[in-house]
Structure 1
Amino acid sequence: MKNKIIITATLLIFINITNMKAQDRPAIQKQENMNNTDLATLRKNKVKTYFKKVDEGQFDEEYFNLYTDDVEIYYPKFGFEKGKNGIANFGKVMGVHLQSLSHDIDNFKYVISDHSIVVEGTERGITKSGKEWPDHKISYGKFCNVFEFEDEFIKRIHVYVDPDFTSEDADRVNIFKNPLLDINKESLKTTKDVIDEFFALQSGKKEGNILDLFSDHVDWDLPGNKQKFPWTGKRQTKKEIEEFFKELYSNVKPEKFEIDFIAINGENATATGHLSSKILKFNKIFTTEFVVIFKVVNGKIVKYHFLEDSYKLNEEMQSEAINVR
């Protein structure tokens, strides 16, 4: 009898423990998922820090603390290196060749798994000899980095990119040249066609989507006080250019926009003119001459710089309009 009581009590304890574990399992799983999410976010932030440090040329303690002591790096033509000294050695090699390097971090595409993060994106730069890249003809600045992690630290970084940034390897360029490219170019719009269509769409003389005239990545600049005039500043993507037009037309009412002349030289074009606009926030008319610098490659605008008297704009718009009800 005594033995039966002991066995029964033991079974009850076992059942209770099992039930407690079953009840705790969702909470434990939730905690593990949260921890995994936190770790993935931390690792992604480390990747962003890596690119920011590289772009700024800040190879300081924070930069080297991103890595494990036995980190491995691979880069085409450079090969493999090990350890933080290997990372420093790679940086020196790149520093001899490049004057500047920048990555379009905001538009990266990420693939995140248990221990790795893969980044696809675009980069641009200037070589020590002063050559800018990509040229959007042969080179497009595309790259892919694979980061492998040990806890929160980068254990392996393999970079997949064409190190012939400025397409000087003529033999390989000729070997891999797309034979259909020249045929396709015949159907592309000329620089004049693109510029004429741009101003026709901007003025409302033609219907269509002005964003279709732009390349996926654009050197866009409209200098000005961005805090005061949010439509000014640098942009790179179609999404950012779309935001420009939204910000422009919600803050500015065009009064007059006239082109004086357009000069075209191959892919490059310059337009000059004068405009008058009402700045709605200040309820004042702003009048200025302007110059627009374009570059058109393969029928798409890859450069757009709009230069106006930004100092005059900032000085004349000093007091906001008061709404009287």
Structure 2
Amino acid sequence: MNSIQTVQTFLDHVFSGRMPEALALVADDATFIPSRPQPSSKVPLYGTYRGPEGAAQVFKTFAAVLKPEQFEVEAAFGEGEHAALHGKLKHYSVATGKPFVSDWALVCRVSQGKIALYHFFEDTAALEAALSA
């Protein structure tokens, strides 16, 4: 698999509930940043996470905070170890029921067939608005 295929396979596993298969594609020393690298008491998804355990925590927190409805990949491109994808998403806040709609981009580095860097970019103001009461 090339880098783009690795990332797309990872996302397919995540969104179909196959976390063991997804985590098998994460390097032991991977860095996962699900929007902002600094943690926040207001948004539990912010922060920097490490390795398969950190990736598992990101998606466990995601499931506790957001109910996914739509995750559309519009394009994917990359070269060598690098992969980038972008698209649109629509999720709902579990706590407030408010929608969270955003364009998104994902930048990854894949090393030896495993994700070494996963940095997700989205409209953080819209995320914070959806999560706030």
Q: Equivalents in 2 of 1:205, 1:286: separation in Å?
A: 21
2:123 counterpart of 1:309? yes
Partner of 1:269: 83
Q: Which runs of 5+ in 2 are unaligned?
A: none
With normalisation by structure 2, the TM-score equals 0.87
Q: Which runs of 5+ in 1 are unaligned?
A: 1-188, 320-325
- After TM superposition, give the deviation of residue 207 of structure 1 in Å: 8.0
Partner of 2:61: 247
CA 1:317–1:239: 2 relative to 1, 3 Å: closer
CA deviation vs aligned residue, 1:161-203 (integer Å, no higher than 9, x gap): xxxxxxxxxxxxxxxxxxxxxxxxxxxx321331231122123
2:24 counterpart of 1:196? no
CA RMSD of aligned residues (A): 2.0
Hey, which of these two has a bigger chunk of strand by percent? 2
Partner of 1:260: 74
Partner of 1:217: 29
- After TM superposition, give the deviation of residue 316 of structure 1 in Å: 4.2
Q: Is the 8 A contact 1:217 1:302 kept in 2?
A: yes
2:48 counterpart of 1:234? yes
Larger-gyration structure (1/2): 1
Q: Equivalents in 2 of 1:223, 1:195: separation in Å?
A: 17
Hey, which of these two has a bigger chunk of helix by percent? 1
Partner of 1:29: none
Paired AA for residue 213 in structure 1: L
With normalisation by structure 1, the TM-score equals 0.38
Runs of 4+ in 1 over 6 A off after TM superposition: none
Q: Is the 8 A contact 1:223 1:234 kept in 2?
A: no
SS class of match (2:104): strand
CA deviation vs aligned residue, 1:15-72 (integer Å, no higher than 9, x gap): xxxxxxxxxxxxxxxxxxxxxxxxxxxxxxxxxxxxxxxxxxxxxxxxxxxxxxxxxx
Q: Which has the higher contact order (CA 8 A, sep 6+)?
A: 2
